[in-house]
Amino acid sequence: MWSSGRRAGAATLLAPTWSIRPVAPLASSALVPFVGAGILVLVWSLVSLRFHVTVFPSPLETVQEAARLLSNAELFQHTGASLFRLFLGFALGSALAIPVGFGMGLFLFVRRMMEPITEFFRFIPAIALVVFALIWFGIGESSKVFLIVYNAFFTVAMNTEAGVAHVLPNRMRAVQSLGGGRWDTFCLVVVPSVVPYILTGMRLGMGRSFATIVSAEILAANSGLGYLIYSSREYSKMDTVVVAILLLGALGLLADRLFRGLTRRLAGGYLPAGDATGS
């Protein structure tokens, strides 16, 4: 993720001298990650031999179940329901958070006024608010979307603020001395500098939002991947559970990589460090 120039590739780490180099070709083979996954599937198969499918489904049983779920619309509906909540909540939460974050970064007084709020709420896990969300919004869509909004808001606001704080003064001065006014400075320097931070905030908030939505759907919903997992428990359909878990992992990974790719593109190859504590 960082330039490898000044950093040690791991090959140099434990090799005391260059005389023990022959390890390298094995490690650099493109097949190695697949061997790793292969070993995992093998172990999974061996363990599953000892258990019934209702306790520990085998890889084959899982694949068969995945095929069954894909053949009817059920899996798509649940996935769609979860993703819809996630994206709606994320869009709303970010839309609220970005102006607040800019306000906090640009104006000292706003920052100081917001601090007690952010410092307090970011340590309350979103899922703990599910009880209020249910009381306030009922068990419909709005309670789940509310939780994601909450989740996204603090992470995105705090990372936006950090981005504004990290704008390089000399870049602003450069634009000013080229004849740019406040608006030019904002558009040409502040915004492009902050966008990668906003995206990093969104990326970090995304992982938590997945966890939140799954919990919320387990506790109170009749659709979504969390609901699918929890309802499968009643019929001991552990194969369905495993399919849903793997799907969640894949979706989370995909979302992370999309945000990373976007951030890198917009930041010229640089991925800013984020503050992951924002709720």
Partner 1 sequence: MHAAEFGRVEKAYPGRDGRPAPPAIADFTLAIREQEFFCLLGPSGCGKTTALTLLAGFEAPTAGEILHRGTPVQGPGADRGVIFQGDDSLMPWLTARDNILLGPRIRRMPRDLQQERAERLLALVGLKDHGHKYPRELSGGMKQRIQIARVLANEPDMLLMDEPFAALDAQTRAQMQEELVRIWSGARTTVLFITHDVQEALVLADRVGLMRAGPASAIRDVLAVDLPRPRDRTDPSLVSLYRHIQGILAEEVAGREALP
Partner 2 sequence: MRRAAWKVSELALPYGLTVLLLVSLWEFASRRINPLFFPGPTTVWRSFLALASGDLAAHVGVSLVRILTGFLLGSLVGIPLGLLMGGIPVIRRLLDGTVEFFRFIPPIAMIVLAVVWFGTGEASKVFLIIFSTVFLVTVNTEDGVYHVVRNRIRAVQAMGAGPWDVFRLVILPSAVPHALTGMRIAMGNAFSTIVSAEMIVADRGIGFLLQDSRLFLRTGHIFVALVALGLLGFATDRVFRILIARFGGEYVVVR
Please report how close the Cβ of residue 174 comes to partner 2 at its closest, in angstroms. Answer: 23
**Does residue 2 belong to the site contacting partner 1 (CB under 8 A)?**
no
CA 28 to chain centre: 29
For residue 93, give the nearest of 15, 174, 209 by alpha carbon.
209
Take residue 120 and report the two structure tokens written for it: 């307090």
**Does residue 6 belong to the site contacting partner 1 (CB under 8 A)?**
yes
For residue 216, give the nearest of 195, 197, 230, 232 by alpha carbon.
230
For partner 2, the binding residues in 208-237 under the rule CB under 8 A are: 208, 210-212, 214-215, 218-219, 225-226, 229-230, 232-233, 236
Q: List, in order, residues 6 or more apart from 94 with CB less than 8 Å away.
A: 152, 156, 198, 202
Q: Which does 182 bind (CB under 5 to 8 A by kind): partner 2, partner 1, none?
A: none
Distance between CA atoms of residues 84 and 276, nearest Å: 24
**Does residue 4 belong to the site contacting partner 1 (CB under 8 A)?**
no
Q: Is 35 exposed, middle or buried (0-12, 13-18, 19+ CB in 10 A)?
A: exposed
The 12-51 site mask, x for binding partner 1 (CB under 8 A), equals ----xxxx-x------------------------------
For partner 1, the binding residues in 91-110 under the rule CB under 8 A are: none
Q: Which does 168 bind (CB under 5 to 8 A by kind): partner 2, partner 1, none?
A: none
Q: Which does 19 bind (CB under 5 to 8 A by kind): partner 1, partner 2, none?
A: partner 1
